[in-house]
Amino acid sequence: MALKWLKKKTPQKAPQEDREHPLSEEAQEAQQIAESVAAHSLPSTFKGGGFGGGEPAQEVVAAEAAKQGLFSRLQNRLSKTRKAFVSRVDELLLGSKEIDEELLEELEEILITSDIGIRTTVVLIEKVRERVERKGLHDPQELKHALQSEIHAFLKAPPKPDLILREKPHVIMVVGVNGVGKTTTIGKLAARYAKEGKRVLLIAADTFRAAAVEQIEIWAERAGAEVVRHKGHGVKPGAKSDPSAVVYDGICAAKSRDVDVVIIDTAGRLHTKVNLMEELKKVRRTAARLLPGAPHEILLVLDATTGQNAISQAQLFHDALEITGIALAKLDGTAKGGIVVGICHSLGLPLQYIGLGEKPEDLQDFDGDAFVKALF
C-alpha cells in the first residue's frame, strides 16, 4: 500500500521489479551528473584562468549543473522506453539496405507496439514518408533522423498555459482515476511551489479512501504545506464527508490565510452510487462560487504504465471537465514511454509535467526538445 511505503521508505527508492539497475541507478545518475557538470563548466572556468575577470558567475555554473542534472535523470529514467523503441528502430535500420515499403511497414509496427498508438503512428509514418520522398532519402540511417524530426514536431504543440500565478490564491484541481499518481504528483507540486517561497495549502477532497488523507498529510509535512481535511474522514470507517464541503472549507481557509497556491486532491473512484464526473463537477462549481475564475487549472494525472488506456481516460475526463493540462506519472521504469507522443499528438492538451519517480524532485516540466534528445 502506498501509505505504508511512504512512511517506511521515505528517503529510499521504491521497489520496482522491472527496474534495470535496482541498486546502482542513483550512483549512475550521480556520476553522469558529475561528468556532465565537469564537462560543461571546465571551458568557461579555464577562460577566466583564475586570474580575475571572466570567471563564470557561480549562479550560471549552478544553473547549468541543475539543467544537466535534470537531463541526466530524464535520460536515465527513460532507459526502458529507449530499449523498447529506439533500440528496435536501430536494429531494423542496421539490417536494411535501403528505404522501401517493407522497411516503412516494419517501422510502423515498431511504433504501434511502442505505445505511440495506431492513430498517431499512421500520421507519423505518413509524415516520415513525405519527408523521405521530398528529400530523396535512400540511406536507412537517414530514416532515423526523419523519424526523430517528425516526433519532435509532434511534441511541440500545443503550447503550455501561462502558469504565472496571477490570482491569489491560485487553485489547481487534480483529477484522474485511482492509483495513477494524483496524490504523489500533488506532493511534488507542493514541494516545488513551497521551495519557490509560496504558501501552499492542500485540500484533502479524496474523502473516499481512508489512506488518502494520511498520505496527503505526509506529503504536506515534507513540503511545508498546510492541509485542510475533514475530521472523521480517513479516521472513522464510513464517516465519509462530502468532497465539495471540504473544498468549501479549504478555499475559505486559503482566502483568510493569504495562501498563494491551493491544490485539491480528488477521488478517482467512488464507493457510492454518485457518478464520479458529477462529483468532480460539483467540486469545480464549489471552487468557482467561492473564488471567481477558480479552479485556474484542472490537471489530469495519467499513468504512463497503462499505455493507450491513458488516452481514453483523458478523453473521458476532458469531455466532462475541460482539462487544462496533463501530468504523466510513472514514466520511469516503463517501456511504454511512447505514449508521450500519442498524448501530445492526439489529445490537443498540453503535457505539462512528467513523473520520473516517487521523490519530490522527480517531477519535471515536460520539455519536448529534452525528451526527444533523451530518447534518441
Ligand X SMILES: Nc1nc2c(ncn2[C@@H]2O[C@H](COP(=O)(O)OP(=O)(O)O)[C@@H](O)[C@H]2O)c(=O)[nH]1
Q: What is the DSSP string of 121-143?
A: HHHHHHHHHHHHHHHT---HHHH
Only one of the segments 53-61, 155-163, 328-336, 337-345 lies at the binding site for ligand X (rule: CB under 6 A); that segment is 328-336
Span interacting with Mg ion, options 44-52, 109-117, 206-214, 342-350, rule CB under 5 A: 206-214
The CA distances from residue 25 to 29, 30, 326, in Å, are 6, 9, 27
Grid cell of 201 as nine digits: 495549502
As measured in angstroms, the least distance from the Cβ of 34 to Mg ion is 36
Residue 275 in grid coordinates: 457518478
d(CA 201, CA 220): 8
The reply to whether 284 sits near ligand X by the rule CB under 6 A is no
Pick from 117, 234, 250, 355 the residue near ligand X by CB under 6 A. 355
Provide the β-strand partners of residue 354: 328, 364
Partner that binds at residue 333, options ligand X, Mg ion, none, CB closer than 5 to 8 Å by kind: ligand X
Task: Specify whether the CB–CB gap between 249 and 261 falls below 8 A.
Answer: no
184 binds, among Mg ion, ligand X, none (CB under 5 to 8 A by kind): ligand X
Nearest Cα residue to 310 out of 284, 332, 279, 331? 331
From the list ligand X, Mg ion, none, pick the one residue 191 interacts with, judged by a Cβ distance below 5 to 8 Å according to partner type: none
229 binds ligand X (CB under 6 A): no
Q: At what angle do helices 2-9 and 210-223 cross, to 10 degrees?
A: 30
Residue ranges in 328-357 that form contacts with Mg ion under rule CB under 5 A: none
Q: Which residues pair with 262 in a beta bridge?
A: 171, 201
Contacting ligand X within 254-273 (CB under 6 A): 268
Residue 93 near residue 140 (C-beta atoms within 8 A): yes
Told to check if 182 binds ligand X by CB under 6 A, we report yes
Closest CB to ligand X: residue number: 355
Q: Taking CB under 6 A as the rule, does residue 360 contact ligand X?
A: no
DSSP-derived 3-state class of residue 301 = strand
Nearer to Mg ion, 125 or 180 (CB): 180
Cβ nearer to ligand X, comparing 337 with 355: 355
Kindly state whether residue 226 participates in binding ligand X, applying the rule CB under 6 A.
no
Q: Does 80 bind ligand X (CB under 6 A)?
A: no
Alpha carbon distance, N-terminus to C-terminus of the chain = 35
In DSSP terms, 173 is beta-bridged to 264, 298
Q: Does 333 bind ligand X (CB under 6 A)?
A: yes
Q: Which residues contact 231 (CB under 8 A, 6 or more apart)?
A: none
User: 171 forms bridges with which residues in the sheet?
Assistant: 262
3-state secondary structure of 203: strand
For 168, other C-beta atoms within 10 Å of its C-beta total 15
Among 357, 368, 372, 374, binds ligand X (CB under 6 A): 357
DSSP string, 241-279: PPHHHHHHHHHHHHHHTT-SEEEEEE-SS-SSSS-HHHH
In the block, which residue shows the cell 535520460?
Answer: 75
**Of residues 173-192, those binding Mg ion (CB under 5 A):** 182-183
The residue among 132 and 363 lying less far from Mg ion, judged by its C-beta, is: 363
Does 212 engage in binding with Mg ion (CB under 5 A)?
yes
CA distances 256 to 97, 99, 108, 149, 224, Å, are 69, 65, 56, 50, 18
Count of residues of this chain found to bind Mg ion when the rule CB under 5 A is applied:
3
Residue 330 sits in the site that holds ligand X (CB under 6 A): yes
The entry of ligand X, Mg ion, none that residue 234 binds, CB within 5 to 8 Å by partner kind: none
Query: Cβ 34 to ligand X, closest distance in Å?
Result: 24
Binding track over 142-181 against ligand X, x by CB under 6 A: ----------------------------------x-xxxx
- Would you say 182 or 345 has its CB closer to Mg ion? 182
Shortest CB 315 distance to ligand X, Å: 18
Closer residue to ligand X, CB minimum distance, 143 or 354: 354
Q: Binds 132, which of Mg ion, ligand X, none (CB < 5 to 8 A, cut-off by type)?
A: none
- Residues contributing to the site for ligand X (CB under 6 A): 2, 14, 176, 178-184, 268, 301, 329-330, 332-333, 355-358, 362
- Residues contributing to the site for Mg ion (CB under 5 A): 182-183, 212
